[in-house]
Homo-oligomer: A and B are copies of this chain.
Amino acid sequence: MFGQMMERQLLISSIARHAELQHPRREIVSITADNPRHRYTYQEAFARSRKLANALSRLGLQQGDRVATLAWNDYRHFEVYYAVSGSGFVCHTVNPRLFEDQIVYIINHAEDRWLFLDPVFVPLIEKLQSRLPKLEGCIVLTDDAHMPQTQLPRARSYESFIASESDSFEWPEFDERTASSLCYTSGTTGDPKGVLYSHRSTVLHCYASAMPDAMSLSAHEVVLPVVPMFHVNAWGLPYSCAMVGAKLVFPGSKMGDAETLQSLIEEERVTFAAGVPTVWQGLVAYLEKTGKRVDTLTHVLSGGSAVPLALMDLLKGRHDVEVVHAWGMTETSPIGTIRSMSPEANALPEERRDALRARQGRTVFGVELKVADDDGKEVPRDGKTFGALKVRGPWVAAGYYKRNGDDVFESDGWFNTGDVATICPLGYMQITDRTKDVIKSGGEWISSIELENLAVAHPAVAQAAAIAIPHPKWQERPLLVAVLKPGASLSREELLQYFAGKVAKWWIPEDVVFVEKLPLTATGKLSKLQLRQQFVGYQFPPG
């Protein structure tokens, strides 16, 4: 027997409708190529989004057709998000930092029909244009005054595209499982794979991520998404901020520029920001150098890769900013876990509390995790036993777009993340490795991340990566590849000696090699894939 409740569908357009009525005057502030500080309200944003929806309706698109974006975080990109998904099309956010071949691959694979792109990316697409035969037209996210000369198909400025349209438009109603947006993974472990989100998954992810023990989003927050809108929908912030009526501050292409970030934070009174650890590293260094402040900022969400405890302590100690560690994936929309401290965690002695703070956190409601051994059996939640991290929930992918037979989507309904993790009795998960990066010595696993964390805690070491090298007796043994800090000197023996007593003896790297720099992926993550290629054929010194 079913309940007798209304069958209202969870649609992205309902976020738009809610924000317009409930938060009409809240602001969206953007840095764009044509305006150093654009500001308007949610009311204006959604009125323009409806104009765009009317313009889109003339393009002959079918429900489910893909419309791509190649753009930084700003208000026009925000309008495109809502107009495309709200109309029943799929908003495919292309990552401009991917390698050119990858960009060509994903636009063709997605069969994008139209592309909304920032002026700065026009030369890139012109270069790739001949390899993108299915692209029918391009809208450049600017006005006529700033429109570059271009031969891109049917190219015109965004402002001229929407100018003569009416701002009245009835968002269509459809099944909440309808596809809303498409994002490809970062390509850290292989080719990017497409994740096709639905309206339902997007709205549920919003609810969960806005909760007090998650991002704690409200109308009183001023939010700076430093994570790009082409990166898992800027972690959902363009949706969740509109849902709760938080003021949004979009840094445009100035994402990596600490000076801009600091001035945006100060001038717009930003309270909450989200981004990868390198953003916070850059910001802290800039604040140290200039003595500038970020007084309104109370907490930042850090995800995408592990954040060092030292960085957390620095931001807390010097700037009273709480770093909230989070874990997620393109496949998880992305929020999986958030490191909120529970009352029990807060009651622990400082050392054990710090150990928890460094963990990737606890699941938000809706996400379920388990850690399994090689036979698929769940391992104890003892904080020590590690294994393959598996996840399920209404905003977790059930497959990749136009791909079949990926065995990461397991037959019992769980998604195998490719991460290796432990979970402690209080529910805090910690990523210890990626499955592909784990080092298997004599049948036992060594965490490459733990070795790296230890190495970078050494005052002379700037960066470090541990990879597995085949070994005649132990199958695999760890090799540590390290970059020294400018001017620092350290010998191989000293660094190896430094590990003694800090990890089990058999975890100590077999050897250390110093290099000038480590290879990065297109999205700035350490590329162990490339590093392993560099060290193919490497042999440990005898003895």
Contact = CB atoms under 8 A, between A and B. Distances in A.
Interface string A378-413: 000100000000001111111111000000000001
Contacts of A394: 5-8, 10
B198 A2 contact: yes
Given A3-B197, A212-B217, A365 B398 contact: no
B399 A25 contact: no
A199 B3 contact: yes
B365 A243 contact: yes
Contacts of A216: 212
B2 A175 contact: yes
Contact of A211 (B6, B211, B344): B211
B363 A6 contact: no
A245 interface: yes
Contacts of A204: 10, 207
A3 B200 contact: yes
A244 interface: yes
A342 interface: yes
Interface in A254-281: none
A106 interface: no
B23 A342 contact: yes
A195 B3 CA distance: 8
Contacts of A306: none
Interface in A220-249: 220, 243-245, 247
Closest 7 CB pairs of A and B: A3-B198, A1-B64, A212-B218, A207-B207, A5-B201, A3-B179, A4-B196
A21 interface: yes
A328 interface: no
Nearest to A181: B3
Interface in A15-35: 15, 17-18, 21-26
Interface in A54-68: 63-64
A14 to B, nearest CB: 8
A392 B427 CA distance: 37
A196 B426 CA distance: 36
A38 interface: no
